[in-house]
Structure 1
Amino acid sequence: MAARPDIEELFTTQVAFVWRSLRHFGVREADLEDQTQEVFVIAHRRYTTWDGEHPRAWLYAIARRCSAAYRRRAHRRHELPVDAVPESPSSSDPAAGLELDRLDRALSAIDEDKRTVFVLFEIEEMSMRDVAQTVGCPVQTAYARLYAARRELASLLEDER
C-alpha cells in the first residue's frame, strides 16, 4: 500500500487531472483556475477524513460536485456553459482541431454516466476498479457502460462522416 500523499503532493500530482475533469464537466475556460482551486480547498478541508486511497477517485468526486454547483450558479446568473471549449489559438494543426471538435460533439451526445466511465477509463487511464468506485457502481456495470459508450461513440462518429 502506497503512503498517503500530503496535500501539497496531492496538488502537485493531480492538479492537471482535476483541471481536465472540470473542463469535461463543462466549466468555462475562464473559470477553470477558480474551480480547480475550489476543489483543492475542499480537499484540504476534508483531508483528515479521507482514507488515503484512490486520490484520483476522491478528487474526481469533489470536482463533480463542484462543477454541479458551478452549473447551478451559472444557471441562476443566466449564463450558459458552452458545449465545446474552443481550441487554443496556439493549435498549429487545424485538422486536429476539427477532429477534437467532432469528438467533443460526439462525447457530449452520450449519456453522462457512460461518458464519465469512458473519459475516466480511456482518457484519464484509470483502472476499471477505480472508475467503478468513482462513479459508485459495480465493476461489471462500469464495463457495460464503457462498452455502450464505445458503441455509441463509434456510431456517432461514423454518422458524422
Structure 2
Amino acid sequence: MDDHAVAVPDPGRRATAFARYVEPEVAVLHRVALTMTGQPADAEDLVQDTLVRAYRAVDRFDGAHPRAWLLTILRNTHRNRARTRIPALLHGDEQATGLLDRGGDARSAEDVVVDARFEGVVADALAALPAAHRTVVQLVDVDGLTYAEAALALGVPRGTVMSRLHRARARIRTRLVAAGLVPRRSRS
C-alpha cells in the first residue's frame, strides 16, 4: 500500500500536535469562553467542545497562529451552541460577587473604603455599558487578549475592538471623575 494513500490520521502525531498547539492555549480559551458565556459551567462546556473539535482538526492545522485558530473554533462553537439553546431566563450578579472581598488586608481603613468605592463605581460603570463594549473590556483589560485576538474571538474588525474599548474606557473614566475617585485630565 502506498504511504500517501493512507487516510487514517496517525494518533501519535495528532496527540503531539495537540500538546504543542492546543494545550498551551487552554487557559486563554477558558477566559474568553467565560467572557462569552458569563457562566463558569457553560464556559467549561464551551471549552470542552472546542477542544474536541480542535483535536479532530489538528491534523489539518498548519501550525501558524494556534491562538487565532483556536479562538475561531471557540467562536464558531459558541455560535452553533447559541443557535440551539434557550436563553437563560435568570441572570445572577456573579460578576460583581467577590469584588469587595479583601480578607486579610493590612491596608488602612481609608484605603479599604476608597478601594471599595472605586470598585463599586467601576462595577456600576461596567454594568451600564452596552454588552458589546463590556465584552471588549473583559477580553482586553481583564483577560489580557490583544486587540487582534479579541477581534478574532468576537468576529469583528480590529478597529471595532479599538473603538469600543476607547468608548468604554472613556465612559468608565467619566464615572470615576464624577465620583471624585480620579482627577480630571487637564486640557493644557
> TM bucket by the smaller chain?
0.5 to 0.7
Task: Spell out, residue by residue over 1:111-144, the C-alpha distance to the aligned partner (whole angstroms, 9 max, x if none).
Answer: 3433343333323333334434444444433322
Q: Which amino acid aligns with 2:94?
A: A
Q: Does 1:73 align with 2:85?
A: yes
Provide, for residues 12-38 of structure 1, a one-character-per-residue CA deviation record: whole Å limited to 9, x for no partner. 322221222122123423444333211
1:121 aligns with 2:140: yes
Instruction: Indicate the structure with greater helix content.
Output: 1
1:15 paired to 2:26: yes
1-side partners of 2:62 and 2:160: how far apart? 24
Contact between 1:18 and 1:36, CA under 8 Å: does it hold in 2?
Answer: yes
Query: Once the two structures are aligned, what percentage of the paired residues are identical?
Result: 27
- Tell me the TM-score normalised to structure 1 length: 0.64
| Structure 2 CA distance for aligned equivalents of residues 116 and 140 of structure 1 | 15
In the comparison of the two structures, how many residue pairs are matched? 154
**Which position in structure 1 is the counterpart of 2:168?**
149
Task: Work out the CA distance in 1 between the residues paired with 2:18 and 2:82.
Answer: 23
CA root-mean-square deviation: 3.8
Shift of the 36–157 alpha-carbon distance from structure 1 to 2, 3 Å rule, reads: farther
> 2 CA distance for matches of 1:138 and 1:34?
27
Structure 1: state its 5+ residue gaps: none
Change (3 A) 1:159 1:112: same
**5+ long unaligned stretches in structure 2:** 1-15, 106-111, 181-188
Q: 2:51 aligns with which of 37, 40, 45?
A: 40
Q: In the alignment, what sits opposite 1:61? A: 72
Q: What TM-score results when the alignment is normalised by the length of structure 2? A: 0.57
Q: CA deviation at 1:39?
A: 1.7
Q: 1:40 Cα deviation (Å)?
A: 0.9
Structure 1: distance between partners of 2:102 and 2:132: 30
